[in-house]
Amino acid sequence: MEQYSSSSSSSFSSPSYDPTTSTDTNPPPDADTDTTTSSSSSSSSSSSAVNRALRLVQSDDVESKLEGAREIRRLTKTSQRCRRLLSDSVLPLVSMLRVHDSPESNESALLALLNLAVKDETNKIKIVEAGALEPIIGFLKSQNSNLQEYATASLLTLSASPINKPVISAYGAIPLLVEILRYGSSQAKVEALKALSNLSTYTDNVSIILATKPIPPIVDLLKTCKKSSKTAEKCCALIESLMEFDEGRTALTSEEGGVLAVVEVLENGSVHSREYAVGALLTMCESDRCKYREPILKEGVIPGLLELTVQGTPKSQTKAQTLLRLLRDSPYPRSELQPDTVENIVCNIISQIDGDEQSGKAKKMLAEMVQVSMEQSLRHLQQRALVCTPSDLSINSCASEVSLK
């Protein structure tokens, strides 16, 4: 969990989080983890600093409040103990969020609250109960990029708590987070995506997210990020949730390069990313095989799916096998299939990998699958090239669109 260490820069490290649990699980890279010294003098010094910070932030003097907020931020940067001892600072810090025309006060309070919330479920809930959401969500509309980014990061951290997820949604944060996903700074877009991914684990929030038409900005971010990155993982996790709805499936296939971006993650993503990606494609195909089979097949998905049946997690293997079966089935009689068609090869694969020797046989057929997919992908690129001028689409950029194992 990285903490914020610069109150003025808009380039900051975001807190890591677990979208499925109420606690943040990754330790800060700049901390050894919380260490409690056995030295009584050190403990006394820490307690003295905590008491001083509380006195400062609870004072009526503006400058003292600012100094207190900065000190709280410093003390809670790496110390879970200090986060607990400083929980009484939540109310005065929230009051600083409500100070109008004082970005310095707002930013200092936001960053202190953010550090207080990291890895502390009690503080996450206490901050929301203290009324912080109204001003924080208001900052999402701010023209001040620092305030907007810090507010987005704060919602990311607060949304890691299951108790806070429906409350954050009820305050109207989701449409504003999607707007940041569309138009915010690069940093704010990533934080907004992760916050939306957190919020999507509360089932009732998924339809609210879908209503904001988030697929285009999610796909844009997925196209540009590294496919093995955490950002790609959260993109695919969110896409998989949205594929449960017809509007989401239609939006993904309507978005230029949308399905291809998911296929690329299926091929080159992290373990969890590939699981989300194959899950999204499987949900599409299961909902309407006739409608989505061809859009998935034409992006050269077969090699990645076959590899997942061999090297993926148990969940990925099961999903990949199920999707291969759905892609295998053809509306045409078996005799009409040519020997080198994807359908025919998938039929052969499925008939041969259902037994105990699944892994070995799948590996033997991988080379054949790659060759067929390469030919299919090249045909697809040729079709794309017909609508592009030479200056718009170079050979290199075309080649970069195809990721084959």
Q: Which of 105-119, 156-170, 286-300, 374-388 has the lowest mean pLDDT?
A: 374-388
Residue (of 188, 140, 147) closest to 168 by Cα position: 140
Domain ranges of the chain: 213-330
Mean pLDDT of the chain: 81
User: Cα(295)–Cα(87) distance, rounded to whole angstroms?
Assistant: 52
- Each residue of 188-215: pLDDT tens digit? 999 999 999 999 999 999 999 999 999 9
- Each residue of 145-156: pLDDT tens digit? 999 999 999 999
- pLDDT range class, residue 374, cuts 50, 70, 90: low
Contact yes or no for 136/106 (Cβ under 8 A): no
- Around Cβ 146, how many Cβ atoms within 10 Å? 23
Q: In this predicted structure, what is the pLDDT of residue 47? A: 87
User: Cα(78)–Cα(27) distance, rounded to whole angstroms?
Assistant: 9
36-52: average pLDDT: 68
Residue (of 170, 230, 225) closest to 199 by Cα position: 170
Q: How far is CA 334 from the centre of its chain?
A: 42
User: Cα(246)–Cα(250) distance, rounded to whole angstroms?
Assistant: 6
**Main-chain dihedrals φ then ψ at residue 93, nearest 5 degrees:** -70, -40
- Each residue of 294-321: pLDDT tens digit? 999 999 999 999 999 988 999 999 999 9
Q: Could you write out the DSSP letters of every residue in 332-390? A: S-GGGS-TTSHHHHHHHHHHHHSSTTHHHHHHHHHHHHHHHHHHHHHHHHHHHHTTS-T
Q: In this predicted structure, what is the pLDDT of residue 367? A: 54
Q: In this predicted structure, what is the pLDDT of residue 375? A: 56
Residue (of 184, 193, 187) closest to 219 by Cα position: 193
User: Cα(252)–Cα(210) distance, rounded to whole angstroms?
Assistant: 12
- pLDDT range class, residue 328, cuts 50, 70, 90: confident
- pLDDT range class, residue 395, cuts 50, 70, 90: very low
- Whether residue 26 has pLDDT greater than 50: no
- Each residue of 114-164: pLDDT tens digit? 999 999 999 999 999 999 999 999 999 999 999 999 999 999 999 999 999
Place of tokens 């960053």: 111
pTM exceeds 0.95: no
Does the domain formed by 213-330 have CATH 3.40.50.720?
A: no
> What is the DSSP code (8-state) at residue 243?
T
- Whether residue 56 has pLDDT greater than 90: yes
